[in-house]
Amino acid sequence: MRILLDNLLKRLVAHGDLSVIWPDGAISHYAGRPGRAATLAIRDPAIIRRLVTDPAMALGEGYMEGALDPVDGSIYDVLHVLLSSVQESEGRIPALRLRNAFGRVFRPLAQLNNARRSKRNVAHHYDLNGRLYALFLDRDRQYSCGYFPRGDETIDEAQAAKKRHIASKLLLDRPDLEVLDIGCGWGGMALTMARDYGARVTGITLSEEQLAEARRRAEAEGLADRVSFELMDYRAMTREFDRIVSVGMFEHVGVPNYPSFFATVQRCLKPDGVALLHAIGRFDGPDVTSPWLAKYIFPGGYSPSLSEVFAPLERSGLRSTDIEILRLHYAKTLAHWRKRFAANRDAIASLYDERFCRMFEFYLAGSQLAFEVQDHMVFQIQLARRQDAAPLTRDYMIDAERAAQSLSRSISAPHAASLRSTAS
């Protein structure tokens, strides 16, 4: 099996330099075009067979189990070499070709996310100990792509900018607009729309952990009269709203359910209403979810190509009134999360264990690289039932975003001065 793995790596590594330390101490080098260098130690000979027969699954499991260890670097460095190579090399790797073909055949079955299955899938990831997310996300627990207008924002600044960016596209131009937040997470976006824009928001989620935290936050901020959170599947919503927003939830819907999702938006959006869909997508067309990611992190999850989104969208009766592609913003977001996770690793290990920490490290590193060296991006699609629901040009978005940013600065400046005075 060692010979087979050696041959596989020779065909695979097309970009960068990978050194492998075998269980007996021997070292092999695999090099492609100039790029990042990394070293991987194989601690357990048993993992070699699994890497040959099912590399897409075995790499992550081997790292989780300690059978594979980066040397003089991190799992990010190892994955950088492998993932930057795999797109041009996978056609030469029979095990990867077979896994992808198998995944495409059974993809519709994996994404049959009915209400019961969706709740179970959500619980798998989002009902983890709430303190975990507080240890690596921003203060508002925004678990989706931040927005980096300058490129050097802190994670808190980037997530605040993301919320302003989304709010500007929702045209929150007057108080008391009724807003539906589909997949509201821990409530940060809903609370922001109520507090900063005067909206009345209904947030829905399938995560009991997120629901409890969102309700607690609404009470603590004195916004419970303007924001309500419900444990509800999106398909069960029947009320009409002025605005609808969904951030980072569409990846859990599944392609077979896109008609139901857009039918819900169309049914619940008032005739003159505006909606905004923010989700992860792919540049290079339909594909399959990583089997490791589907098993350990996001069962039932899938990031679509735009071609998969627009066919059911066009049949829904909704109009796409604005589309934006955010390139590399999620890579920057994930870099912040990885740094914060590493800084709080001991605390996270005390909540779970070493295997869990390794699982999350692999997930965060692989996700960052999906945006840096592979085909992932984030799309934002503004939707409406009528073409005249929003102004004719995008100027209103820019004006609203800048006004919200100026207001935030004017509020935070006295607060910062007060803190300095107290400290002195």
pLDDT band at 89 (very low <50, low <70, confident <90, very high): low
Cα separation, 370 vs 359, whole angstroms: 16
Q: Model pTM?
A: 0.91
Q: Please check the confidence at residue 416 and state whether its pLDDT lies above 90.
A: no
Three-state SS for 231? Answer: strand
Domain boundaries, the chain: 1-92, 115-408
pLDDT value for 125:
73
Report in angstroms the alpha-carbon separations of 87 from 81, 164, 373, 400: 11, 35, 9, 40
Average pLDDT over residues 102-128: 68
* DSSP single-letter state for residue 303: P
Highest mean pLDDT among 1-5, 88-92, 325-329: 325-329
The answer to whether 10 and 56 are in contact (CB under 8 A) is no
pLDDT value for 420:
42
Strands 319-326 and 376-384: antiparallel
For 127-155, b where at least 16 C-beta lie within 10 A, e where not — what string? bbebebbebbbbebbbbbbbbbeeeebeb
Closest listed residue to residue 202, CA positions, set 221, 219, 222, 187: 187
The β-bridge partners of 274 are 243, 384
Strand order through the sheet with 178-182: 227-231, 200-205, 178-182, 241-247, 269-282, 376-384, 319-326
The answer to whether 160 and 397 are in contact (CB under 8 A) is no
pLDDT value for 44:
96
Q: Please check the confidence at residue 320 and state whether its pLDDT lies above 80.
A: yes
Element (H, E) at 211: helix 208-220
Residue 174 token pair: 């007057």
Q: Please check the confidence at residue 413 and state whether its pLDDT lies above 60.
A: no
pLDDT value for 351:
93
pLDDT band at 406 (very low <50, low <70, confident <90, very high): confident
Average pLDDT over residues 173-195: 97
Three-state SS for 164? Answer: helix
pLDDT-wise least confident of 81-90, 243-252, 270-279, 362-371: 81-90
pLDDT value for 422:
43
For the chain, give the percent of residues with pLDDT over 90.
80
Residue 163 token pair: 């919320």
What is the dotted CATH code of the domain comprising 115-408?
3.40.50.150
Torsion of CA 409, 411, 416, 421, to 10 degrees: 140
Name which residue leads in pLDDT, 5 or 95.
5
Cα separation, 165 vs 6, whole angstroms: 48
Closest listed residue to residue 321, CA positions, set 266, 264, 390: 390
Average pLDDT over residues 195-203: 97
